Amino acid sequence: MATPASTTDSQSDARAWQVLAEGFTLFAAGAAPVFSIIQAIGTLTGDPVVIEVATDPGRTLDVGGTALPLDSAFVEVLPTTTQAWVLAGVDVASGLFIALVAWLVYRVLVTARTEPGPFRGGMATRIFRISGLVMAGGMALSVLSGLPNLLLTPDGAGLTVSLSFLPLFVAAAIAWTAEVFRRGEALESDLSGLV
Amino acid sequence: MAVDPDVGDRVRCHLDDLLERRDLTLAALADEVGVTVANLSVLKNDRARAVRFSTLVAICDALDCQPGDLFSVATT
């Protein structure tokens, strides 16, 4: 029986989107470490670091009759050599973390396209790994993002380091998806060879 | 006692013998039972890991036999 043209078109459209998503994640996996290394080199070679510092609480700026709160400002600071190495290390670690997550997402997308069914090829394991990385790496990065302020403003003018729980919730959602795939793999295994 | 998923390898199917005794082909049985030849072939060659009761009953009806005639479990 001939396949209707509209079905073939939508299948090739879906395949094109899949390949595009794979390309994007592969690019992210390759580009993230490169950009982070470039940024780290910049920090080590004397580029100023932009930090957010606290100003007078309650101070406002009048813009067209509207009083905008102005309790923080961005300033450029030149780090010392030790500080520059620490900040460069954080840059590289962030880049590697993003690359690792992007690589795992890329592998999930490739498996989804090439395997005959969704519950194969170790999808659940990969998604669980992504979940763990997002939780641990995401929370670590949220703390480390405040490191420049902490290092470069010893007089306490820097804003305090904040801990974001968003990665925790995102990781929980990803882990839930992974559990769906794990159960799917178990069911598929039970049904294989059924006559 | 926990179920070991690998013990299914010990189950032997005697479909070949039963077909031969009744002078039937796999294709004819597949036609009568309503299961594909490919699936019956999986069963015949001991590659099946599970059998639906409906399939088992249909095969037993078609071959006028009991499940015990169709399968045996090899000793370890």
Euclidean distance between CA atoms A60 and A70, whole angstroms: 5
Average pLDDT (A99-117) is 89
Percentage of chain A modeled with pLDDT above 90: 33
Query: How far is CA B36 from its chain centroid?
Result: 13
For A127-162, the pLDDT digits (tens) are 999 999 999 988 888 888 777 777 777 665 555 566
The domain tally of chain A equals 1
pTM of the model: 0.66
CB atoms within 10 A of CB B26: 16
Q: What are the CA-CA distances from residue A178 to residues A68, A173, B58, B68 (Å)?
A: 45, 9, 39, 41
Nearest CA in chain B to A195: B51
Whether B69 and B14 have beta carbons less than 8 Å apart is answered as: yes
The residue count of chain A comes to 195
Mutate to test the interface with A, among B6, B49, B71 (most CBs of A within 10 A): B49
Euclidean distance between CA atoms A51 and A152, whole angstroms: 8
Q: Give the residue, A144 or B54, on which the prediction is more confident.
A: B54
Chain A residues lying within 8 Å of B55, measured CB to CB: 195
Domain region containing A135: 5-194
Query: How far is CA A193 from its chain centroid?
Result: 40
